[in-house]
Every structure is written in C-alpha cells, then in structure tokens.
C-alpha cells in the first residue's frame, strides 16, 4: 500500500496507476506441477457480478477483457504436489491470477472460490514486490517483502 503526503503527490501516483507504471509481482502456491517453468497466460475473462466470480471465455465474448500474465516456477515440492510461482501481471483483471491458474488445473492453494485444495487454509497469494516512481524526485522505488515461512508458506524453506 502506498500513501502520499500531499494531494499533488497523490495525483501523480494515481496517474502512474492509470498509465500502468506501478508494477506488482506476486508469489503464489498452486496445485500440481506446471508444464513449463516459465510461460505467459493470455486469456479473456468475463466477470459475473451476481456471484462475484470471473471465468475464462473465448476471445470476442461480449464484455470480456483480455488478461495477460507471466509466471516463473520458483520451486516444486513433489511430496505435496505444490508449486511456488512468481507472477507478473500485464493486466489487472478481477481475480485474474486465481482464474487463469485454476482454468489450467493449477488452482491457488487455499482458494475457496476457484480452488480444489487447501480448503480452510489462507489463500496462498502474496504481493511480494512493488515498484513505482517517486512523485517528486522521479526516482524508481522498489520494495520487496516475503511471507513468513510458516503454515502453507513453509514450502519456501
């Protein structure tokens, strides 16, 4: 979360968000072993307002929006059949990471809406990296933080 000290700084930060200059990267624990160690998912997502869920639909589906992300496998644990992946979003769609991985049989561990494993556990989706430009100095700022290696995140050990 980023806070501005002045309204002018807030305006400049908001402009960066609109221009997609804010970058966020995620660590995600997903079910199973990914087919590729590195890849790009490109889909079209349609949001259902009634049940607050999205789904992958064919290109050209009315009201659908393009969703693009890159991922890279950090670790796979064969014993528990879970993978840790780093995800970089190119678009920011409703439940994008959760929907795109789930549609390929790799649901996010602990996902109550789209998932198959880890019911009752915390959703294993962690924004670990944020970068943006300082609103006055224009210096690129980058912040990283990782989840504690407890609970489901012990897989990072």
pLDDT for 84-114, tens place per residue?
999 999 998 999 999 999 999 999 999 999 9
Query: Residue 145 half-sphere exposure, CB side, CA atoms within 13 Å?
Result: 8
**Domains contained in the chain, CATH given:** 17-42+70-156 (3.30.2350.10)
What does the mean pLDDT of the chain come to? 94
Query: Which pLDDT score, from 0 to 100, does residue 157 have?
Result: 85
Q: pTM (2 decimals)?
A: 0.90
| Cβ proximity of 103 and 95 under 8 Å | no
The two tokens of residue 2 are 């980023």
Query: Which pLDDT score, from 0 to 100, does residue 47 have?
Result: 97
> Does the pLDDT of residue 119 top 80, yes or no?
no
| Cβ proximity of 67 and 45 under 8 Å | yes
- Of 41, 121, 114, give the one whose Cα is nearest residue 80: 121
> Does the pLDDT of residue 5 top 90, yes or no?
yes
Mean pLDDT, residues 139-143 taken together: 96
DSSP 72-94: EEEEEETTTTEEEEEEEESS--T
Phi, psi of 156 (to 5 degrees): -75, -15
Q: If pLDDT is split at 50, 70 and 90, which confidence band does 136 have?
A: very high
The two tokens of residue 63 are 């009201």
H and E: helices and strands count for the chain: 2, 7
> Does the pLDDT of residue 121 top 90, yes or no?
no
- Of 115, 97, 93, give the one whose Cα is nearest residue 47: 93
Q: How far, in Å, are 108, 109, 148 from residue 153 at the CA level?
A: 13, 10, 7
Per-residue pLDDT tens over the stretch 11-69: 999 999 899 898 999 999 999 999 999 999 999 999 999 999 999 999 999 999 999 99
Alpha helix locations (H) across 92-137? Answer: 96-102
């Amino acid at each position: 979360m980023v806070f501005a000290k002045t309204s002018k700084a807030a305006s400049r930060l908001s402009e960066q968000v609109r221009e997609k200059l804010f970058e966020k990267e995620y660590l995600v624990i997903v079910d199973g072993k990914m087919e590729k160690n590195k890849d790009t998912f490109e889909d079209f997502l349609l949001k259902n307002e009634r049940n607050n869920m999205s789904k992958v639909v064919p290109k050209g589906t009315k009201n659908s929006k393009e969703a693009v992300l890159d991922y890279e496998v950090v670790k796979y644990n064969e014993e528990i059949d879970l993978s840790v992946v780093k995800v970089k979003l190119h678009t920011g769609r409703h439940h994008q990471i959760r929907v795109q991985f789930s549609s390929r049989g790799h649901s996010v561990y602990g996902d109550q809406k789209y998932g198959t494993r880890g019911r009752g556990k915390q959703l294993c989706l962690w924004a670990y990296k944020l970068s943006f430009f300082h609103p006055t100095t224009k210096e690129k700022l980058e912040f990283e933080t990782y989840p504690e290696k407890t609970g489901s995140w012990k897989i990072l050990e």
